[in-house]
Every structure is written in C-alpha cells, then in structure tokens.
Amino acid sequence: MRARVSAALLLVAAGTAPLAAQETGAPVPETVRLDVYATALAFYSPPRGQVRWIEPAPLDAARGEAPLEREFVRALVARLGDRFLPGWEEQRGAGGRLRLSTIYPIGSSGRYRLAIGYRHHTEYHEGPASTQTFVVGCDRKGCQVLQRAPGAGPNDW
C-alpha cells in the first residue's frame, strides 16, 4: 500500500498523473479565464468566409454548469476577432457553433483543463457535434495549448 501512495505522489509531482486526480476546485480569476478560453478557441479559427458562434449555453448543462455571461462572451469575441460572434446573433452562412465547459485548474502550476464542443453549421444543415479536451498552460509570457485530445463530452446538443 505504501509503495502505491509513493508512486502516486511521484506521478503528481512529475505532472504525469491523470489530470482528474490533480484538478482543484479553486475558482479561476476572470482575466485568466479569458486568456485560457481565447488560447483554446484559437484552435477553432475559421477559414476564410466562415465564422464561429460562441454559445452562452455550457457544453454540459447536465452537470449544472452556468451559462457564460453575455458580457464575458462579448469580451471573448473582442479578443478573438471579427470572425467569432456571440451565439445569440443571427447565424447565417457557414461556420461552426462552439460550446465551452468550465475551466478546471490542475494543481497550482498555472495549468488548466477545459473542453470545447463544436458543431458545423450552414444555412441548410447542422453537422454532428464533436468535443476536444485541452490542457492550457499559462505563465508571465502568456498561455499556450499544452495538450489536446478528442473529448468524451456530450454530442447531443
């Protein structure tokens, strides 16, 4: 039993333990929250002629996640550029709808985990939903995606 505990502590210290084991329940400051979302959403930068709509509805409402505040979505859109729009604006043309999960801190090392759901949208069709999970690391120089993997999130929205 003692060997297992020691091994687990070494994995956590080395940063290689499963991410869920390292998550903390600490709230993420608003400025860091904006940086983390903007960094992960850059992965979804639309090609020419398309846009991305950021939905205020959370990725997994069943977990009780709160919707994004309209002011926060506007600040995020301002950071990302004019090819990102709030989800409540008219959705004409081609692009994709995005839903965001809550950001979960991983330990106290400036790393955060979140998931983003994407559904392609045209005037005539909604594509299937997919989810990506991101680990974003932030320091004084800024934030960057450290890890990205297919998510196991809800695909029924």
- Rounded CA separation 49/94 (Å): 8
Comparison of pLDDT for 11 and 120, the residue scoring more: 120
Tokens 């809800």 correspond to 154
Instruction: Give the closest residue to 106 by CA, choosing from 42, 17, 35.
Output: 17
Read off the pLDDT of residues 68-97 as tens digits, 9 standing for 90 and up: 999 999 999 999 998 999 999 877 788 999
DSSP annotation string for 33-71 = HHHHHHHHHGGGPPPTT-EEEE-SS-TTGGGTPPPPPHH
Indicate the pTM of the whole model: 0.79
Supply the CATH classification number for the domain 23-150.
3.10.450
Q: Is the pLDDT of residue 55 over 60?
A: yes
Interval 98-118: pLDDT, tens:
999 999 999 888 999 999 999
**With bands split at pLDDT 50, 70 and 90, how would you rate the model's confidence at 151?**
confident
